[in-house]
Structure 1
Amino acid sequence: MSELWVLSSILLVLVVALMAGAWTPAALFFTAALTTYLLGMVELETALASFTNAGLVTLVLIILSTAALEKTSLLGKLSQVVGQGSLASTMAKLGLSTALLSSFTNNTAVVSSLIGVVRRNQSHAPAKLLLPLSYAAILGGTLTLIGTSTNLIVNSFVENAGLEPLGFFEFSMIGAVIVTLGVGLLVLLANVLPDRREESAEESLPYLLEARVAKLSQLIGKSVLDNRLRALKKLYLVELERSGIRICPVPPHLVLQSEDILRFGGAVESVELLHQFDGLEWFGKQQAKGQNLIEAVLSPTSKLVGTSLKVSKFRERFDGAVLAIRRGHHPLKGGLGDIELQAGDVLLITPGDSFSHNAKLAADFVAVSGLDLSVRLDSKRSRWVLGGFVLTIFASLIGALPLIKGLILLLISYVAIGAVSLTELKRRFPIELVVIVGSALSLANLMLSTGLANDIASFILTSLNGFGVFAAFVCVYFLTLLLTELITNNAAAALAFPVAYAIALNYGVDTRPFILAVVFGASASFISPYGYQTNLMVYSAGNYRFTDFLRVGIPLSVLYSSIVIILVPLLFPF
């Protein structure tokens, strides 16, 4: 009994810490699993075996394989649909294409590649398309077993429990209905999202840029108006700081002095406008050598969150200078180097020579766009990468070659033809995901062996007061959905699976419907920008407010949940 209470306490602390964002999910799961080992609740061999689970190995190999897939022309061809035709037809084509691509490649990469294209199109406001783009990528993950890491994580639990693994297309019929009706709903809701192209200059130019008036500058002794600092296209003078005193708004007839600090609100392309002023030292100028700029979205688990550029020593840490920062549609104020960074902030960076090889990029940023803009594979190698991937999946489906062996051979071929390097694979290795899944598998085994999962299942069944197995299935689905919105999808799947499995065993029914309740529930992140990586990526890029997610996400979540609750028991009877 004491062991059960200790495990309950560990899991309770884990859930609270995940919701509070105290540490990264990987650190929290590993600490919880390590604690159970130190307390003698699990043997070392058993704990380590969780990190060599076949499903987990498959997940790692799939993620590494997408490093080459992202370099093919496939994503570039998809971008051609943006801006062609009416808003409804564009959204339909973009949504279905994105969902299809996301069913077999990394949805974060798909969204990252298309954000810039959507923002540059002239026919439709980016805010009309970016949030549907993220939703379509999430919907597409329900089409196949490899559509999202969550599916493969659940499959790891399934194999670990001694059950038959999930099939590659086992739930594709349900996923196809979800994608078709989900994209259809997004088309109908096309006009619900805002068109913020008509907003005032200050609201629509969210990047904060900073520059200092150098000594002997030709700007000194002339007013803001005379220096034409108020007549800049897509650049708005927000604030002037002199001797520590901030002046906002800036009077047009204020005469500039040496060492004045000017802060602007501007679009990405407006950075070039600062170059035309002789004697204006803009933030990060020393590192600029004509290289392409990079946009990077700050991850919720980044160590930079809660610190400033100065405190974190960003330039030394990443070999890159931050030129500007944006935070959704919120105008930022204060010194660029002193702003306390938040999850979802977009940093405009001038990269140094070693920036793209920095191992910390994957841990601190959800997406870094611009790194591979000029590194596309030639047509011959693109065909090999795509053909090899399709052949590997097909060989696995017909039983000619196990998926793990096929993926290992595929990766070796990718390295051999130069489609991906060992350095890239090392950089892309999902160490945090491995730690989360391996630790979660160990905790799930303990929940089942100690009877904790069974006790939680019994509590849920008692609470339902005899409503039956269907009500229990619905409860598992919504429990997973709630956890997904609160603590991210992978953590939700890890905590919900043992409870779902125990409930199915309590009823003595087939476990498949309850497993699929976790699969679909863990992918149902539509209401919060923080529940899923792609939502966070478009949150800043589209200048969205939290209410925008509610406006479109709630109807989509209701439709998605209705389809799952109706079709899963119908196609997978209890």
Structure 2
Amino acid sequence: MYEQIILTGIMLALVGCLFGTRLNPAWLFVGAIGTGYLTGLIELEEMLANYANPSLITLILLILVSIAIEKTTLVQGLAQSLAKGSLSKSVMKLGLSTAFLSSFTNNTAVVASLISAIKDSPTHSPSKLLLPLSYTAILGGTLTLIGTSTNLIVNGFAVEAGMQPLGFFDFTLVGLGALSVGLITIIVLLKYLPDHGKQDQEVVPFYLEGKVEAGSKLIGRTVEENGLRDLKDLFLAEIIHGDRRICAVTPQQVIQQGDILLFVGDIKSVPLLQRFDGLKIVHDKHEKDVEHLVEVVISQSSRFVGKTVKEVRFREQVHAAVIAIRRGHDRLQGGLGQVRLQAGDSLILAPGSEFYQLPNLKREFVYISGLDLQTHLKSKKSNLVLAGFVAVIGLSIFDVVPLVKGLLVFLIALFAMGAVKVTELKRRFPIELLAIVGSAIGLAKLMIDTGLASQISDALFYLLGDFGPYGAFIAIFVMTVIFTELITNNAAAALSFPVAFALAIGFDVSPLPFVMAVAFGASASFISPFGYQTNLMVYSAGNYRIKDYVTVGLPLSIIYSITVLTLIPLVFPF
């Protein structure tokens, strides 16, 4: 009883922080399992053993191996073929190819590899392709055991709970059904996606900052007198005066020396601000040519994620000054230096001469206007990489060599042949994923071992008993879908699995359909740009609004859910 009370407090605190704060989930999960150790719920050796779970090690190796796969001619060929054909054909081709790649390698890497090619497509608007790219990458990940981190994590939970390991293609029948109806739904709903074409470009809400310098003619005059109210495609949103922020700026507001003026609007209107005497737009030691600005999109592996421009000394690190930031259509507050950067943010930079020579550009950004950030392998080496990967998967499927062993040998071979480098392995090593999943496995096991999961399932059994196992199965799926939209897919799986497993035991039925409900539910992130990494990556790149995700993602989520809830009990009977 004592253990259940302590663990309940830990889990409530974890869930509350996941939903109610912006703290890094990795720190929260590590803190939760660490508290379990400090309070005597788990021994140190047992806690550390969870971070060496075979499914987790397999996942990490897959992510590292995908560094080489995304450089191959397979990905290059897909990128080059996207511009051919009508929009529907392009989306169908893009969807099937992305789903296939995502079923065998990291879907985040697939999306990152294709963003640049899609943004530079001469035929179709990127806003018509990028969201389908993310959605089909998610759907493709449900096809195999290794297609998404969620499937491998759920497999790890299942093994720890005493179940047989899930097979490589156990997910495939249900996944194919979900992909088929999902792709058809996406194509039908294409007309509802915005069309930000080159000839019909809507005002892009970039966030710009200007500083009133000493001697400026703006000083001592009102906003209206300075003509700052009637700028084409620009809106003066805020003024920062010392420590004071002035929102809802009135025409009578007097401009003073040192004021920071924050504008929202079209980046093409930057030259308009140059005409105002003493209003410095680019904070740098040298004047920059605004006609040679570049747009970049922050990578999920960037060291800038979670930090402000000021904290990372962006200008010194990248040899470029940030003059504008966009995060979808979100309104940002405070000065540019105080904006905490996120993966998917679009930045407008005034680059110095050394910017293009930096070796770490492709680590920090998934897209730079006018540049191809992909390192491509030569044809012979590319074929060797693909053949080696297919061999590893084949040997695993036929139980000749365990997948984790095959991937480890393959990774060593990739390193030996120069397909991946030590710096790339360091940069792409998923330390946060390791922290979240290793901790989550320990917490899930604690919930089962202490009987807390049984207590929760008993309460749910009381509520859902009249609906039978199928009603409880639906409830677990819906709960997991809600979790994955509000927090992260991996956290959703970690919170739902112990309850799902205990419910199956309570109904005295096979736990497999409940396990599959958690796996497919945790991958059902279509309604929010923040629930899944690939959705966030295309958010600003496609100039989407949250309503675009809801318009297309909500019908897709409903149809996906109906399909999955119908197919799982047929493939995995209770």
Q: If the TM-score is normalised by the length of the shorter chain, which range does it land in?
A: 0.7 to 0.9
For 2:269 and 2:418, the matched residues in 1 are separated by 37
Matching of residues 410-425 of structure 1 within 5 Å = 410-425=410-425
TM-superposition CA deviations, 1:239-298 (whole Å, max 9, x none): 69999799x99x9xxxxxx999998878789999999xxx98734575999999572337
d(CA) in 2 for partners of 1:344, 1:129: 16
The alpha carbon displacement at 1:238 in A equals 5.6
Q: Which residue of 1 aligns with 2:31?
A: 31
Tell me the equivalent position of 1:84. Answer: 84
Q: Contact conserved, 1:143 with 1:169, CA < 8 A, in 2?
A: yes
Task: Map 1:158-307 to 2 at 5 A.
Answer: 158-197=158-197, 203-209=202-208, 282-283=282-283, 295-297=296-298, 305=306
Distance 1:240 1:442 in 2: 48
Mapped partners of 1:37, 1:317: distance in 2: 40
Letter aligned with residue 295 of structure 1: V
Rate the CA distance shift 1:357–1:191 in 2: closer, same or farther, 3 A: closer
Aligned equivalents of 2:522, 2:240: Cα separation in 1:
52
Query: For residues 110-189 of structure 1, what are the structure 2 equivalents within 5 Å?
Result: 110-189=110-189
**Compared CA separation, residues 266 and 461, structure 1 to 2 (3 A):** same
From the superposition, tell whether residues 284 and 266 of structure 1 become closer, same or farther in structure 2 (CA, over 3 Å).
farther
State the match for 1:52 in structure 2: 52
- Checking the alignment, whether the CA contact within 8 Å between 1:240 and 1:260 is kept in structure 2 is no
1:313 Cα shift?
3.7
Q: Which amino acid aligns with 1:205?
A: V
1:107 alignment partner in structure 2: 107
Tell me by how many angstroms 1:94 deviates: 1.4
Structure 2 matches for 1:528-567, cutoff 5 A? Answer: 528-567=528-567
Q: Please say if residues 239 and 262 of structure 2, whose CA atoms lie closer than 8 Å, have aligned partners that are also in contact.
A: no
The alpha-carbon distance between structure 1 residues 286 and 2, as it changes in their structure 2 partners (threshold 3 A), is farther
Matched-pair contact (CA < 8 Å) for 2:299–2:366: no
Match of 1:254 in 2: none
Residue 144 of structure 2 aligns with an amino acid whose one-letter code is T
Could you report, residue by residue, the CA deviation over 1:202-235 in whole angstroms, capped at 9, with x for unpaired residues? x523334557899999xxxxxxxxxxxxxx9xx9
Paired AA for residue 206 in structure 1: P
Note if 1:386 corresponds to 2:364. no
Amino acid of the residue matched to residue 543 of structure 1? N
Contact 2:282 2:321 in 1 (8 A): no
CA deviation vs aligned residue, 1:288-330 (integer Å, no higher than 9, x gap)? 999995723376999865x753355444577764343112235
Measured after TM superposition, the shift of residue 165 of structure 1 is 1.0
Give the whole-Å Cα distance in 2 for the aligned partners of 1:368 and 1:13.
Answer: 35
CA distance, structure 2, for counterparts of residue 354 and residue 455 of structure 1: 59
1:321 to 1:381, Cα distance in 2 relative to 1, 3 A: farther
Residue 345 of structure 1, CA deviation: 3.0
TM-superposed deviation, 1:368: 3.3
In 1, the alpha carbon distance for the partners of 2:287 and 2:58 equals 41
Preserved CA contact (<8 Å) 2:208 2:325: yes
Offset, 1:566: 0.8
Q: Given the alignment of the two structures, is residue 42 of structure 1 paired with residue 42 of structure 2, yes or no?
A: yes
2:366 aligned with 1:368: yes
Q: Offset at 1:85?
A: 2.5
In the alignment, the residues of structure 1 paired with residue 425 and residue 406 of structure 2 have an alpha-carbon distance, to the nearest angstrom, of: 17
State the alpha-carbon separation in 2 of the partners of residues 333 and 445 from structure 1: 42
Paired amino acid for 1:545: R
Cα shift readout 1:426-483 (whole Å, capped 9, x = no counterpart): 2211111111111111111110111000111111111013221111111111111111
Contact 1:132 1:186 survives alignment (8 Å): yes
Structure 2 CA distance for aligned equivalents of residues 268 and 77 of structure 1: 33
Question: Does the residue aligned with 2:190 lie in a helix, a strand or coil?
Answer: coil
CA distance in 1, matches of 2:273, 2:109: 32
Q: Do the aligned partners of residues 191 and 484 (structure 1) sit closer, same or farther apart at CA in structure 2, a change above 3 Å counting?
A: same
Alignment CA distance shift 1:123-1:573 (3 Å): same
Amino acid at match of 1:71: K
Q: For structure 1, list consecutive stretches of 5 or more residues without a partner in the other structure.
A: 218-231, 252-257
Whole-angstrom distance in 1 between the partners of 2:544 and 2:237: 28
Q: What do residues 51-89 of structure 1 show as CA deviations (whole Å, max 9, x unaligned)?
A: 111111111111110111111232222123333322222
| Partner secondary structure for residue 192 of structure 2 | coil
- In the other structure, the counterpart of 2:326 is 326
Give SS of 2:529's match.
coil
CA spacing shift, 1:268–1:154, aligned 2, 3 Å: farther
Taking the aligned partners of 1:356 and 1:60, their CA distance within structure 2 comes to: 25
CA 1:467–1:67: 2 relative to 1, 3 Å: same
Equivalent in the alignment of 2:254:
none
- Deviation sequence 1:338-369 (CA, Å, 0-9, x none): 556567532345586997559xx98xx7x633
Q: 1:508 to 1:374 in 2, by over 3 A?
A: closer
Q: What's the CA shift string for 1:88-115, capped at 9, x where partnerless? A: 2222111121111111122112222222
Matched to 1:177, the amino acid is G
Once residues 75 and 269 of structure 1 are traced to their aligned partners in structure 2, the CA distance between those partners, rounded to angstroms, is: 33
Match of 1:228 in 2: none
Give per-residue Cα distances to partners, 1:131-150, cap 9 Å, x unaligned. Answer: 22211111111111111111
Q: Retained in 2: the 8 A contact 1:209–1:283?
A: no
Distance 1:12 1:242 in 2: 41
Could you tell me how far apart the structure 2 residues matched to 1:406 and 1:288 are?
51
TM-score computed with the length of structure 2 as normaliser: 0.83
Distance 1:506 1:115, change over 3 A: same
Tell me: CA distance 1:293–1:400, structure 2 relative to 1, closer, same or farther (3 Å): farther
SS of the residue 2:298 aligns to: strand
What secondary structure does 1:466 align onto?
helix
Distance 1:395 1:274 in 2: 62
Does structure 2 conserve the Cα–Cα contact (< 8 Å) formed by 1:23 and 1:301?
no
- Report the aligned-residue RMSD: 4.3
Q: TM-score, normalised by structure 1?
A: 0.83
Counterpart CA distance in 2 for 1:439 and 1:206 is: 39
C-alpha distance 504-334 of structure 1, shift in aligned 2 (>3 A) = closer
What SS does the aligned partner of 1:204 have?
Answer: coil
Amino acid at match of 1:121: S
Counterpart of 1:224? Answer: none
Give the letter for the 2:203 counterpart: S
The equivalent of 1:426 in structure 2 is: 426
Q: 1:339 to 1:448 in 2, by over 3 A?
A: closer
Tell me the matched-pair count. 551
- Determine the structure 2 residue equivalent to 1:13: 13
Could you tell which deviates more after superposition, 124-133 or 138-147? Answer: 124-133
Q: Match for 2:182: what amino acid?
A: G
Provide the secondary structure at the position in 1 that maps to 2:310. helix
Q: Report matched runs for 1:479-490 at 5 Å.
A: 479-490=479-490
Equivalents in 2 of 1:260, 1:424: separation in Å? Answer: 42
CA contact (8 A) 2:236 2:263 kept: yes
Identity of aligned residues (%): 50
- Provide the rounded CA distance (Å) in 1 between the counterparts of 2:302 and 2:491: 13
- Give, in whole Å, the separation in 2 of the partners of 1:452 and 1:336: 46
How far apart are residue 185 of structure 1 and its match? 0.8
SS of residue matched to 2:443: helix
- Find the aligned partners of 2:234 and 2:519 in 1 and give their Cα distance: 49
Distance 1:433 1:131 in 2: 24
Matched position secondary structure for 1:296: strand
